[in-house]
A and B are shown apart, each in its own frame.
Chain A
């Protein structure tokens, strides 16, 4: 049972480049979310989705886009990378009883 799969695990970008972080889950969860983790700041919610075709902004959405065309996939797009977006990114899906399942994370460095 794969759970939540994120790719890539590591990425280095130049300022201004764009890229997409992939996230897929095989648990048929309706709710999915993206967080960024920075030292001393815990996890901050970027965007979330309550089902296919429905997305909404979280706490720190600027500079990021999401889409949800299927229940399984929830990609995060960085439009024009900035050094402030250097972080570890986690995708999570949530069960009906609010338990979150996390991917292994993507460590992104923007130079």
Chain B
């Protein structure tokens, strides 16, 4: 079945450091890929998405490129801020499972001032 694997956390960075959170997926068809972010005490909210191979999703300085050849969707940001501290979830949807969304385990990011 479909699955999503993302790097374990927590990830601790200093402000202005470069961020990469790795995500790989397994799917039989052509899913859409997503990154969601969860701030403390809140639900998940969409950060960015890509719907087909080689698409790049971007939002708030975060980027991720849909790589079909490596089945990856790594999240990157060039310069993190304290306000980026949160839990980040990689997810896929829209494959042969229809609307069902499969989430990775989440990666907690701490950014120190």
Contact = CB atoms under 8 A, between A and B. Distances in A.
Contacts of A31: 99
A102 B45 contact: yes
Contacts of A12: none
Interface residues of A, number: 24
Interface string B15-53: 000000000000000001010100001111110010100
A82 B39 CA distance: 28
B43 A105 contact: yes
Interface string A13-34: 0000000000000000001010
Interface stretch (A37-45, A63-71, A72-80): A37-45
Interface residues of B, number: 23
A97 B41 CA distance: 27
B36 A100 contact: yes
A45 B99 CA distance: 12
B99 A94 contact: yes
Most chain A CB neighbours (cut-off 10 Å) among B43, B49, B101 = B43
A54 to B, nearest CB: 12
Interface of A: 4, 31, 33, 35, 40-43, 45, 48, 50, 58, 90, 92, 94, 97-105
Interface of B: 32, 34, 36, 41-46, 49, 51, 89, 91, 93-94, 98-101, 103-106
Given A33-B100, A33-B101, 19 more contacts: A31-B99, A42-B89, A45-B101, A48-B100, A58-B100, A94-B93, A97-B32, A98-B32, A98-B34, A98-B93, A98-B94, A99-B34, A99-B46, A99-B49, A100-B36, A100-B46, A101-B46, A104-B43, A105-B43
